[in-house]
Structure 1
């Protein structure tokens, strides 16, 4: 049987789910080629990219003739197809359901609430040239706080990772989202030791792939700091 030639992934590493995907690929040495799509330059709106993904979003995975456009589905597809260590997306039904439970919750909680803080504090002021709307930002931070409470009390209450004793794709999606407000120098885990310890465990589990995936975000933080 011939070895798989690998997959193509279309990424902008300022995008949270793109970072999660890159970490999974690197950690498991899945053969891949990265195609960079700069969202800020509108490269996601070109006819070529739109033909591949009419939603004009990243990440996109191309595996031969198969194209997949949702980060959650891409992570689970890779974990299944490339036979990565089972802890990433367990085969045992109850353990797999725990991962699915978090990832379903993620899209209406961790993702929008962390992203909103970033949008209000960094993106909108950069695009409009107007100052941060402190009222809206404070409301967004309050919503994010409620989400962080749930991460601690629901998902991490008696276990080291969100879905059990080992790291899964759920942890990657969550941590990459919670890193996003760091562009403005805001560490949303600063007052939360339980979540800080979880972040350290995630970083330890994925090694250097964490900082490599976040290098673009660290650079954006430095540029933002220099502008202020």
Structure 2
């Protein structure tokens, strides 16, 4: 029985896991859960994940939530040691980033996206500009953490090669970009170069996973341009 994967590609960790499953060749059956239609809030889905979030995997009846835990489980089960090293110190670096991101890059990028896209659609009101500025500034500070710490000591977030930390990181960075924001290449040259490397090394699956977010970005920029 193949792994069952519940996901929505508008979710950052869902995209990261989708890329990982594709690039490693782990067989899976995809079950899309449309967040925009509130399919994750149904009683039926609550039987799968009581927290009503994605992603989730069902491995022959073993149901696991939380993206980082899923990554670790799959790497250990399939012995994919290049993505989640077995060396104690190398693994600790990956774990260090995976723990750091929750209240930094993930939190700030998610709130920027929510303030720009989700809340206005739910309330039928324009974005709160003060809130946008606050979250944009905090997103910039988190991005500077990548520039001045993580990528200052190694070429990838978890060391000298691609790991699950990089998939988690780049998909979080892409969320505000999907909302129409830009990465400042002059301010964050290491981050820019790292993103280009990760994209290149994960094709064609990176583009597949980000097709929907990029369509959203194109629509937003087109609408903003038409208002000028």
TM-score, structure 1 length as denominator? Answer: 0.93
Partner SS for 1:80: helix
CA distance 1:127–1:190, change in 2 (3 Å): farther
> Are 1:183 and 2:165 matched, yes or no?
no
> Are 1:28 and 2:24 matched, yes or no?
yes
Partner SS for 2:156: coil
1:118 to 95, 113, 135: 113
Report if aligned partners of 2:57, 2:65 keep a CA contact under 8 Å in 1.
yes
Deviation at 1:215, TM superposition (A): 0.8
Instruction: Give the alignment's Cα RMSD to 1 decimal.
Output: 1.3
Cα distance in 1 between the residues matched to 2:22 and 2:182: 25
Alignment partner, residue 98 of structure 2: 103
Partner SS for 1:88: coil
Cα distance in 2 between the residues matched to 1:223 and 1:122: 12
| Structural mapping, 1:60-99, within 5 Å | 60-84=56-80, 86-99=81-94
Report if aligned partners of 1:179, 1:187 keep a CA contact under 8 Å in 2.
no
1:54 to 47, 50, 53: 50
1:159 to 148, 154, 158: 154
Cα distance in 2 between the residues matched to 1:158 and 1:57: 34
Alignment partner, residue 145 of structure 1: 140
1:41 to 37, 44, 53: 37
Alignment partner, residue 134 of structure 1: 129
Deviation at 1:158, TM superposition (A): 3.1
Deviation at 1:78, TM superposition (A): 1.0
List gaps (5 residues or longer) in structure 2: none
Cα distance in 2 between the residues matched to 1:221 and 1:206: 21
List gaps (5 residues or longer) in structure 1: none
Cα distance in 2 between the residues matched to 1:122 and 1:201: 28
Deviation at 1:227, TM superposition (A): 4.3
- Could you list the per-position Cα deviations for residues 67-104 of structure 1 after superposition, in whole angstroms to 9, with x for gaps in the alignment? 001011011111111122x2210001110010011101
Q: How many pairs align?
A: 223
Report if aligned partners of 1:181, 1:188 keep a CA contact under 8 Å in 2.
no
> Are 1:173 and 2:173 matched, yes or no?
no
Report if aligned partners of 2:84, 2:164 keep a CA contact under 8 Å in 1.
yes
Report if aligned partners of 1:189, 1:195 keep a CA contact under 8 Å in 2.
no
Deviation at 1:149, TM superposition (A): 1.4
Of stretches 153-162 and 8-17 in structure 1, the one that deviates more from structure 2 is 153-162
